Each structure stands twice: as C-alpha cells, then as structure tokens.
Amino acid sequence: MISTRVAKNLWGENMYFGHRTLADLLGHETLTGLMFMAAIGRRPTDDEREVFDTVAVIMTSADGRIWPLKLGRLVSSYGGTLAGWCASLLTMEGPRLGPWTTGYSAQELVELRAQVGERIDDEEAVVCEARAFFERKRRVVGLGVPLRERDERYVALEAWVLRTGRDKLPHWRLHVALAAHGKRVANLGTNILLGLAAVLLDLGDYTPAQISALVTFVNQNVFAANALEAAQQRSPEMQRLPDDCVLYVGPPARTSPRAAAERRRFEPLEPIYTDDGLAGA
C-alpha cells in the first residue's frame, strides 16, 4: 500500500495536506501558499509566505533566449503549451542551472554549517571554515555568474535581506564568507542560487531537496509564460530554422561499403549518360 499526505477527495470537500480546501483554505491561502504546501507539506507562516512571494518575483528572469526557456518555446512552437512547459522543466532536475540548483547550493551551505558547528557566532571561525571549504572544493554550486559582473537578482536579494535584517542569520553569514573568498581568489561572482539557499536555510527547517522543489515551484511563471506565448505564435522559424543558420561539422560525404560494392559490380554494365546523351551512341 502506498501512503499519501497530499490529498483525498471526500463527498462535498477535498482534503489537501490535512486541510479542507473549501472550508479551511478557500479565502485564506494564496497560490504561493499552496505551492509551499506542495513542497513542504504544511501551511506556510506569514513570514514564509512573504519570503516566497519575494523569491518568486526576484527569480523572474524569463528571457526566452535562456536555454531551458528557449527549449520550451521550440517544443511549444507546434501549438502545445504544456508540451513546451513540461519539456523545459525536464531539463531542470539536476545540479546544472535553473531554480532546481538552489537545493544543491543549499547542500553546500549545510555542509559548511556542519563544519562550523558550535562556532557559528565566531566570525573568525566562519571565515576560516569558509576558506577551507572553498579551497577543498574549488567548485561551489552557486558561485559564478555568467555573462555579467554581478547577478542582478542577487543584488536585489541582498538589498532585501539587509532591509529585513536577515543578514545576521547564520547561513547568510556563511554564504557571505564563502562568496567573499570565492571572489578574492577566483573572481567568482555570487549567483542568486547561493544567496537564496542561505535565505531559505535561515528561514525554515527545509532540506536541500525541499528547497529545490520550493524554488522551482514558485518559479513556474517563467516557464509557463514562454511556453504559452510560443504556442500561440506557432512560429515557423522556431519550428525550422532557415537552412543557412545551420553549420554541419560531422563526417564528410562518404559511400557505404555495400553501395561501393554494388557500384563496382554494376557500373561497367550501366549506360553512362552525359549532358549530350548516351556516351558512345
């Protein structure tokens, strides 16, 4: 038997994570709250709901040229919105790019936090452990900003954190120390993913896997918007690029052994045609 905490349909009511949707949630819970419940299994506090609304807005980087979003637009170009949306999401699960990666950044900070242990209030110890952590790993998920000096989403998150006084919390301080060392020794900028992981680890007792799900769930608007628009456009150029936009670099034209054998077998018997007609006629 498989157990589920998600939901059950009742007569005249539907349960969702222990709450009656129509009697308890209707009028009291938001879309963000429902997504939060999907990832964490309980209702968010007011603070959590506000943070995730903020996260959703900050993470709204929906340029249709960004690789996974472009992928979704290509698939949706035949008119299917959900086909492109699903295809985009398929590429997300893993430690590569996109919102799912936040959980992998969180894992980095969980490991660093474990190393710092009881010395979390000792700033010198935090800096020292962050340095050692970076030197040991060299590649930290969430350090590195493509195409630009600073991740504008991180800049906004940092300002919001300072404004709301969350900068004194342990994981934020850990990530600051880690990011400072990464910047100093490898000129790595801080990606939104690492900052976000720090904020979320300080916010609640979430696992890295839950953080991956949470951030991806509240980031759905970027995938949905591109898929929907591409499905409506049904762009012929998306369905097929012009021929001169493709460069072939594979093996040169060649003849298979069987075709070559056939040619050797039949060529002498076959009439040879030229532009002037049958040769030798």
Partner 1 sequence: MTTSKVWNGPLDDAEWPDKLTARVVTQGPCPRLHGYDVEGDLARHYSFAETVLLALTGTLPSPEEARAFDVALQFAAPAPAQEAPTHAAIIARICVASTSQIQGAAAIALGEQARVLVAEHRAWIEMLSGPLAEVPAAFRAKSDAERESVGRLRRALRGTVDVPALWHDIGRAPALIAALHACGLKTAEAIECALVLAKLPIVMAEALATPAGSHRQYPVQLPTIAYTEEPS
- Nearest residue (CB) to partner 1, 12 versus 250: 250
Closest distance to partner 1 from the beta carbon of 150 (Å) = 11
Q: 102-116 vs 208-217: helix axis angle to the nearest 10?
A: 150
Please, what is the minimum distance in Å from the beta carbon of residue 18 to partner 1? 4
Q: Which of 172/223 has CB closer to partner 1?
A: 223
Between 15 and 125, whose beta carbon lies closer to partner 1? Answer: 15
Count other C-beta atoms under 10 Å from residue 32's C-beta. Answer: 20
- Nearer residue to partner 1 within complex by CB, 138 or 234: 234
Least distance from C-beta 116 to partner 1, angstroms? 29
Nearer to partner 1, 9 or 274 (CB): 9
HSE-up of 87 (CA within 13 Å, CB side)?
A: 19
Minimum distance, C-beta of residue 103 to partner 1, in the bound complex (Å): 18
The gap from C-alpha 88 to its chain's centroid, in whole angstroms, comes to 9
Inter-residue contact 230 to 73 (CB < 8 Å): yes
Report, in Å, the least distance between residue 276 CB and partner 1: 24
Task: Give the shortest CB-140-to-partner 1 separation in angstroms.
Answer: 22
66 strand-pairing partners: none
Token pair for residue 156? 């906004």
Tokens of 188: 């790595």
Nearest to 215 by CA among 228, 197, 233: 197
Q: Which is nearer to partner 1, 60 or 164 (CB)?
A: 60
Question: Residue 190 in contact with residue 154, Cβ under 8 Å?
Answer: yes
Amino acid at 32: T
CA–CA separation, 135 vs 128, rounded Å? 11
Residues that bind partner 1 (CB under 8 A): 1-8, 15, 18, 41, 63, 65-66, 80, 83, 86, 90, 146-148, 241, 243-259, 262
Cβ–Cβ under 8 Å, residues 182 and 168 = no
Closest CA to 195 of 251, 246, 247, 151: 151
- Residue nearer to partner 1 on the CB measure, 2 or 279: 2
Smallest gap from Cβ 208 to partner 1, in A, equals 16
Closest CA relative to residue 55, chosen from 166, 149, 134, 137: 166
